[in-house]
Chains A and B, each alone.
Chain A
Amino acid sequence: MTSVGSGTLRVRVLFFATYADRVGRETEDFILPAPATVGDVVRRVRAVLPGGERIPERPLAAVNRVHARLDAAVADGDEVALLPPLAGG
Chain B
Amino acid sequence: MLHLTRQPIDVGRLLAAVAGSERGGTACFIGTVRDHQDGRSVVRLEYSAYEPMAEQECAAIVAEAVARWPVRVALEHRLGELAIGDAAVVVIASSAHRAPAFEACRYVIEEAKRRVPVWKKEHFADGVIEWVDPTRPASAAAAPAQVRGA
Contact = CB atoms under 8 A, between A and B. Distances in A.
Give the interface residue-count category, chain A.
20 to 34
Please tell me the size bucket of the interface on B.
35 or more
Contacts of A65: 50, 52-53, 56
Contacts, number: 100
A88 B50 contact: no
B111 to A, nearest CB: 11
Interface stretch (B8-16, B19-27, B96-104, B114-122): B114-122
Contacts of B77: 88-89
The dominant DSSP class at the A interface is mixed
Interface of B: 31, 47-50, 52-54, 56, 77, 88-89, 109, 112-121, 131-135, 142, 144-150
Interface of A: 14, 16-18, 21, 38, 60, 62-69, 72-74, 81, 83-89
